[in-house]
Amino acid sequence: MEAWDEYYHSMHGALNEAIHVYIESGLAFWKAEHGIKKNPCTVFEMGFGTGLNALLTLEYAAANDFTILYETLEPFPLALQEVQELNFDSLPTLQNSKESLRKLHLAPWESSVQISSTFSLIKHKILLEKFMPQRQYDVIYYDAFGFRVQPEMWSEEILRPLVNAMSPNGVLVTYSAKGSVRRALEVLGLDVFRIEGPPGKREMLRAIRF
């Protein structure tokens, strides 16, 4: 029971962080500013991982009657079973998410797949270093592993193609508030704001292409 409590708390923490950083500070912020004029909204996510951010975005689209084209990269995909073992649907917010999560993971690579009436998905099995954006993105979720684990993912060089692919008024959000990341985004021409972080973290970054 203790292990379950601990597990539940860490899952709950991950969920709250994803909602705060990507959905509220990124997608909902962009929608409040520009959402009415743009359909579909294009979202790019660096690092599909468990699919949690994609799932939350899919649910946001459904709840807000908002159409999203979601493009994401994952060079090291998890097996569906590994993801199912995380039991996202044990969390109250994600109670009915099992089927959507399955569809997100089983969607074929490198093609556009309609997952729901308001959400289509393009997954690329490729390293960010090799990826060449083919469209403009309204919202970017930059969810790489942390600087200590993968410092190369936070450099100006690696961020440049993504920043260049941002739409006018596009928004990039990341959980990192590191000074060097902020400076790299500024050098690339974005206006960068340190904003309130998710519970337990003081700050995060929101960068806007004005």
Ligand X SMILES: C[S@@+](CC[C@H](N)C(=O)[O-])C[C@H]1O[C@@H](n2cnc3c(N)ncnc32)[C@H](O)[C@@H]1O
- Positions that interact with ligand X (CB under 6 A): 47, 49-50, 52-53, 73-76, 127-129, 143-145
Give least dist CB 110 to ligand X, A.
15
Which of 153/207 has CB closer to ligand X?
153
Tell me if 171 sits within 8 A of 180, measured CB to CB. no
Give least dist CB 210 to ligand X, A.
26
Q: Which amino acid is at 79?
A: A
Which of 4/76 has CB closer to ligand X?
76
* Of the candidates 12, 93, 32, 22, the residue with the CA atom closest to the CA atom of residue 59: 93
Tell me if 50 sits within 8 A of 78, measured CB to CB. yes
Which of 49/133 has CB closer to ligand X?
49
Give least dist CB 36 to ligand X, A.
27
Tell me if 103 sits within 8 A of 115, measured CB to CB. yes
CB within 8 Å of 41: residues ≥ 6 apart: 27, 30, 31, 35, 66, 67, 68, 69, 138, 139
Which of 71/143 has CB closer to ligand X?
143
Give least dist CB 185 to ligand X, A.
18
